[in-house]
């Protein structure tokens, strides 16, 4: 099953200005990410950006870049513009690979695409990994997901879900034995038809309060298939420390 990998890349970043263009072992971060996406078996890899410097850097390394509007409120809105520009069929599968994920596993990108292909009732596919400690469970920056018996998302939240009533009755923060707590991994596959409809969907109260755009799809009746993986993928680049860690990994590979 073929799919398109799209990498949204904006220069604006409060913690790391110009993040997509930061050097990692001789190449811009966004190019390193595109290289990983290309190894996934995607039939096309496209970087979607609103910055000509990013476009030029991507093109100089042999990858396709599309200029998109600068006012998109979310990365999903940017993908919707790409789907329209490429003229994708509504059933085409588009995988959103974050531009600050130069260590993303190609096999994981492919697996999420394949999950959506075999989940005809879902508009989106994503993945999650088991939560192994209470700190992550109670951290609002760690997004949790609860799934039904079919592996479809019931809800995403920054709150500790599911809530272990008896284990937490004394008010202490702990991870109850056997709790099916899952950390959402922000890798998405979409049907192109859904992407084209996404910008017109109403933003509901759940998305506003949780600040999680995937809830917009759920509040509007769309289903999300979730693949459970055994371990967490390598972290992306959010800070200077992350950047130095990733640079060290690439240097050791060369």
Q: Is 85 inside any structural domain?
A: yes
- For residue 251, the model assigns a pLDDT of 85
- For residue 254, the model assigns a pLDDT of 61
Q: Is 89 inside any structural domain?
A: yes
Q: Is 254 inside any structural domain?
A: no
Q: Is 171 inside any structural domain?
A: yes
CA 187/CA 113 separation, integer angstroms: 10
**Burial annotation 46-78 (CB, 10 A radius, 16+ → b, else e):** bbbbbbeebbebbeeeebebbebeeebeebbbb
Q: Do residues 21 and 52 touch, judged by C-beta distance below 8 A?
A: no
- For residue 26, the model assigns a pLDDT of 93
Q: Is 167 inside any structural domain?
A: yes
- For residue 14, the model assigns a pLDDT of 64
CA 213/CA 203 separation, integer angstroms: 9
CA 82/CA 68 separation, integer angstroms: 8
List, for residues 97-148, the tens digit of each pLDDT value: 998 999 999 999 999 999 999 999 999 999 999 999 999 999 999 999 999 9
Which residue range forms the structural domain that includes residue 38?
3-244
Exposed, middle or buried by CB within 10 Å (0-12, 13-18, 19+), for 188?
buried
Q: Is 184 inside any structural domain?
A: yes
Q: Do residues 184 and 128 touch, judged by C-beta distance below 8 A?
A: yes
- For residue 11, the model assigns a pLDDT of 77
CA 145/CA 161 separation, integer angstroms: 7
Q: Is 253 inside any structural domain?
A: no
- For residue 31, the model assigns a pLDDT of 96
DSSP state of 199: G
Query: What CATH number is given to the structural domain containing 12?
Result: 3.90.550.10
Mark the ranges of the chain whose per-residue pLDDT is less than 50: none
- For residue 13, the model assigns a pLDDT of 66
Q: Is 183 inside any structural domain?
A: yes
- Mean pLDDT of the chain, nearest integer: 93
The number of domains in the chain is 1
Q: Going by C-beta distance under 8 Å and a sequence separation of 6 or more, which residues neighbour residue 61?
A: 27, 28, 31, 34
């Amino acid at each position: 099953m073929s799919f398109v990998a799209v990498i949204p890349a904006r220069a604006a970043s409060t913690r790391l200005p110009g993040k997509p263009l930061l050097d990692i072992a001789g190449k811009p971060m966004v190019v390193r990410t595109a290289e990983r996406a290309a190894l996934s078996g995607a039939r096309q890899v496209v970087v979607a950006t609103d910055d000509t410097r990013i476009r030029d850097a991507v093109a100089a390394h042999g990858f396709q870049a599309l200029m998109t509007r600068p006012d998109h409120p979310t990365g999903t809105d940017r993908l919707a513009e790409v789907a329209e520009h490429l003229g994708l069929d509504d059933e085409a599968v588009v995988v959103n690979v974050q531009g600050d994920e130069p260590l993303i596993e190609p096999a994981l990108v492919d697996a999420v695409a394949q999950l959506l292909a075999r989940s005809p009732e879902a508009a989106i596919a994503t993945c999650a990994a088991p939560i192994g400690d209470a700190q992550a469970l109670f951290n609002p920056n760690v997004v949790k997901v609860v799934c039904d018996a079919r592996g479809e998302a019931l809800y995403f939240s920054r709150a500790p879900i599911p809530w272990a009533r008896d284990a937490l009755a004394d008010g202490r923060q702990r991870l109850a034995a056997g709790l099916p707590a899952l950390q959402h991994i922000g890798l998405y596959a979409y049907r192109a038809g859904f992407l084209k409809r996404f910008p017109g969907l109403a933003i509901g109260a759940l998305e506003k309060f949780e600040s999680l755009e995937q809830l917009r799809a759920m509040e509007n009746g769309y289903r999300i298939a979730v693949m459970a993986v055994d371990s967490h993928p390598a972290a992306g680049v959010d800070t200077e420390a992350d950047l130095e860690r990733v640079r060290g990994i690439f240097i050791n590979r060369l």
